Structure 1
């Protein structure tokens, strides 16, 4: 979750917010150390520290801090047992930090650092606020304090095609930890509203493919089978993309495998093609159902796990 740019925006627009952080954990807990929630003055919030009574009480504490403004920071140790109405059995330490216009300079510095990519801070909790020192990359971690990580190096997805499934897929990916490069060369192909983590490209398809980072997941679902084949061939031939998928059926896969062989691609490269895309077991052909299946597969692949390649042929035709 984006933290400091969001806090900077809330302070500028609403005057204050509270950052709730899971500082440390022991045993079985709903969220890991570093999980965060940002609470607005009107009660709305972004992120989660695990839900349940723990989160409900944390929201109430954040609202008290925003209403009274008598404390800038606090920590709270909480056992997740019967007294809380949760049966995880573990223990968490939460940090609460109130940010107002008085903190705008420090918040701006941290927001600028986060926009540049992941970074770490040495954080020292205190009643008057949490002190944070940005650590240089590769710096030895000093003793004392808490090392926090902010920002994410998000994996990239190259999505080719802005048809019904492409649009449903972009919406399904929007809240998830991916950066999406979305290509369609047809005029007016993209909707008027685009999620923030999506970059739209409308030039040549193979130029768009070449612009993607090594290791990006490739999803091909254009309006043309010929264009699908050209993109798949270029992606596989490059050797830069370990996960290349195309929407279709078992029949389409067989045709593509034959054509790719005629184009001179090795058996090893051809066998890495995923078609049909998506996890097995969902028979629905509605765009939203297909999108849910494909997104689940993207998450599995991003975690470095494998997909059962012998799933029965299913559903989709481009």
Structure 2
């Protein structure tokens, strides 16, 4: 497997995976140092480090690394351990590969624009969604996915999973509530909505009264989104939101 092949696999596979790299060999071996193989959590294999019983064992070790998250160096004596007649020794380094966390920002206003810029620098895979072309056209960073669509249609096309981060901050309260109602029972790592205390109280009451969400589901939504650091203005508010996203990503309680 060539290095250039790794990126497309990482961007297209929606499950945890491990990269297995042959780092040293001695004697006769089926592959030399530099050979790479990717193993996904479901057991799909891309590339090869040599085949046979040896490779089967590497796959097992890769699955263990995916589960534990701890990288490791594994030494294989091909003749003694795997009954392979080539008889050499191979050392394989296995590491879990982390995909960028998707961040869906609904609303490309001043704060949404600032958050998208800061978040992409922090390593998030940023999707900025709005139905106003004039606002999205201000986004010039090619790393940011700009989605010009009706919000409801965009929600149908975006992929939600347990690693998805969602921030709702459109230009109208009713649209914010519509998006929140559609997202609240989707899988996600984080769901937050911008708003004043009154907006949040009204939203919670309407959702409870209409049976849209339970008290527990509403309490799990970060409203108002971000850390309470006295932020003022789009840039500071965006920083407070990004700080909260990073804390959730890193499993830290700020």
In the alignment, the residues of structure 2 paired with residue 169 and residue 226 of structure 1 have an alpha-carbon distance, to the nearest angstrom, of 22
SS of the counterpart of 2:35? strand
Q: What is residue 108 of structure 2 aligned with on the other side?
A: 162
Q: 1:197 aligns with which of 133, 139, 143?
A: 143
Tell me how far apart the structure 2 counterparts of residues 258 and 131 of structure 1 sit (CA, whole Å). Answer: 62
Pick one of 137, 155, 167 that aligns with 1:219: 167
User: Cα offset for 1:291?
Assistant: 1.0
The offset of 1:179, in angstroms, is 1.0
Deviates more, 1:115-124 or 1:140-149: 140-149
**Structure 1 residue aligned with 2:215:** 267
1:184 matched to 2:130: yes
Per-residue deviation, residues 80-122 of structure 1 (Å, max 9, x unmatched): xxxxxxxxxxxxxxxxxxxxxxxxxx8xx21122221163322
- Counterpart residue number, 1:246: 193
User: 2:183 — aligned with what?
Assistant: 235
Q: Give the deviation of 1:213 after TM superposition.
A: 2.2
1:135 is paired with a residue whose SS is: strand
Gaps of 5+ in 2: 11-16, 26-31, 44-58, 62-73, 76-89
Q: Unpaired segments of 5 or more residues in structure 1?
A: 1-105, 308-318
Q: Within 5 Å, which residues of 2 pair with 1:70-89?
A: none
Contact 1:114 1:151 in 2 (8 A): no
Q: Is 2:9 the counterpart of 1:116? A: yes
What's 2:235 paired with? Answer: 288
Higher helix share: 2
Q: Does 1:206 align with 2:155?
A: no
Contact 1:249–1:276 under 8 Å retained in 2: yes
Match of 1:73 in 2: none
Superimposed CA distance per residue, residues 283-308 of structure 1 (whole angstroms, 9 cap, x where no aligned partner): 1312111111111100111123446x
Q: Deviations over 1:99-149 (max 9, x none)?
A: xxxxxxx8xx21122221163322239xxxx93111341614540535154
**8 A contact 2:105–2:128 mirrored in 1:** yes
Mapped to 1, the partners of 2:204 and 2:123 lie a distance apart of 32
State the SS of the aligned residue for 1:188: helix
C-alpha change, 1:285 and 1:190, in structure 2 (3 Å) is same
TM-score under structure 2 length normalisation? 0.68
**Alpha-carbon shift at residue 269 of structure 1 (Å):** 1.4
Aligned counterparts of 1:135 and 1:148: Cα–Cα separation in 2: 9
Query: How many angstroms apart in 1 are the aligned matches of 2:167 and 2:240?
Result: 13
Q: Deviations over 1:41-75 (max 9, x none)?
A: xxxxxxxxxxxxxxxxxxxxxxxxxxxxxxxxxxx
Residue 45 of structure 1: aligned partner? none
